[in-house]
Amino acid sequence: MRGFFTFIIFLVYAQIAHAQAQNPLTDRLVSPLFEPALAYSDISMQEDCTERPLRPPKYHACRDSGQIYANALTNATAKGQPLMVIFGFDSCPGCKAMHKQVFDPKHPTTHADIVKYLSKPALNAYILSEQSLKISVVRIHAKSEHGRALAKSLGILKDGGRLRSPLLLYVNSQTGQHYVAPPTLAPYCDWGADFAAGLEEIGVVQTGQPYVARKRCG
């Protein structure tokens, strides 16, 4: 508990410092954690395929998932960022909930939402360096044949298996290390704890006891 309040005080001072002057650390803390891995419009629409959403889709049934993933991974590798692949579809309740909680453009998830759940060595490294934890994110249509084919090629779908949604796949773009998050929506009480655990699993940040405990829900 003492560590938690210490961290809260640290964040408060960081916010004050940011308001008074530009500072590399506070700039990183308040910057968005995620950025799009690619422009989906760069991937050609498949012939004789029509997407019929009421608004532009977040998950593309008519653009080849294999090409989407390949382009996203290439871009993430070039930027030195880990890649988060979200398998889902637009009418998926869990996908909608995640989008609202994590990707709301008015209240984006920031580095401050995740760094408190890092291990103590990883948090110290973040504070003392210019390291960014920014994650490239891409969405794959889980109900499309090409989406399922991609999942199978990545080893996360067995023959005749069910591809749950949303399914989060973390990829270390520099080493190729993969990690599939547990099969529950936000197994921790805070999405930031999930993201910190995912980055640990693919070797992007150091493992160890989290600065603030990652409490599990349910």
Counting every residue written for the chain, the total comes to 218
Q: Which residue has the higher pLDDT, 53 or 118?
A: 118
71: its two tokens? 């382009």
How many angstroms separate the CA atoms of 29 and 158, rounded?
39
Most confident of 88-97, 151-160, 186-195: 88-97
Give me the amino acid identity at 5.
F
Beta strand segments in 100-211, E:
135-141, 167-171, 178-180
57: its two tokens? 């889709």
Judge whether residue 155 has pLDDT over 80: yes
Judge whether residue 1 has pLDDT over 70: no
Q: Are 120 and 207 in contact (CB under 8 A)?
A: no
Span 143-153, average pLDDT: 95
- Residues in CB range of 4: below 8 A, 6 or more apart: 212, 213
Judge whether residue 189 has pLDDT over 50: yes
> Would you state the pLDDT for residue 19?
47
98: its two tokens? 């995640």
18: its two tokens? 């940011």
Residue 81's alpha-carbon distances to 148, 151, 171, 173, in angstroms, are 25, 21, 9, 7
How many angstroms separate the CA atoms of 139 and 159, rounded?
22
How many angstroms separate the CA atoms of 180 and 86, rounded?
10
- Residues in CB range of 166: below 8 A, 6 or more apart: 86, 87, 88, 92, 94, 95, 98, 185
> Would you state the pLDDT for residue 20?
46
